[in-house]
Structure 1
């Protein structure tokens, strides 16, 4: 054990981990000039089919009414907020993300913004952005002569 460590932390590994979290938070705050609460981005995947681009965005705990989906040209913009829950007791550690975020995805092809659909199921927002007809691949049948 380090001699400079407070006596209360020397034998308790959980207290040592908590101390480490607090030191990391202090380091981040000093590097960025303040707490980083509310600054986060959800995990997301973007896939492409022949007909559309599909974005799957992880939003566990987000209510449907707290999500906004917009199209601006080829850019998909998703904003949402995870609100803090009221706690009855004393909070020891907050690891869940809370606050607002904005997630932007520039789609790599021409799209039809009037036909965009979005569904929220089991904490995953799926946004389907159809391609315009002329951007879809056209299958050409090869004939034998």
Structure 2
């Protein structure tokens, strides 16, 4: 009788027990990440991942929707100047990125205060239809970035019904 070969499907990595020091280190990392990237804690995924590690954050909240002849993308980017926002398009993928740089300095007779806030974000959004990038427009008002992109002629065509036999 031939011997049956056994293969290991996956290795089990034993988890080390969590200590109070581990939890403190985790909280310190979370605060350091927040000050480096202020948008990093806006998504629930940061809180859900737990002790397994932190996953990268996509960036600000984005709404993507279609109108009859356009695709509209709205992104919430509070606290950032429009000069610090970069919008690029490549291979049906829209990327919104930016950097926040803020410094507040207060000098009084009794005290001196200097606060700095820095952080960057990037969000790539796949678009649901082909667009004419040369006719796209963007506006930024009250922390909301709105990008309007007209659809190409081929993507504007109506849905064709296919009969099932």
Counterpart Cα distance in 1 of 2:78 and 2:153: 34
**Structure 2: which 5+ residue stretches go unaligned?**
1-21, 41-58, 107-112, 160-165
Alignment partner, residue 27 of structure 1 = 26
User: What's the secondary structure of 2:103's corresponding residue?
Assistant: coil
User: Are 1:52 and 2:49 an aligned pair?
Assistant: no
Residue 84 of structure 1: CA displacement? 2.6
User: Are 1:136 and 2:156 an aligned pair?
Assistant: yes
**Structure 1: which 5+ residue stretches go unaligned?**
1-22, 140-145
2:142 corresponds, among 122, 126, 137, to 122
**Are the equivalent residues in 2 in contact too, given 1:50–1:137 (CA < 8 A)?**
no
Structure 1 runs of 4+ aligned residues shifted over 3 Å read 23-26
Taking structure 1 as the reference length, the TM-score comes to 0.64
Query: Residue 29 and residue 131 in structure 1: after superposition, are their counterparts in 2 closer, same or farther (change >3 A)?
Result: farther
Alignment partner, residue 90 of structure 2 = 72
RMSD: 3.0
Pick the structure with more strand per residue.
2
Counterpart Cα distance in 2 of 1:128 and 1:54: 5
Counterpart Cα distance in 2 of 1:101 and 1:45: 16
Query: Residue 25 and residue 63 in structure 1: after superposition, are their counterparts in 2 closer, same or farther (change >3 A)?
Result: farther
Taking structure 2 as the reference length, the TM-score comes to 0.57
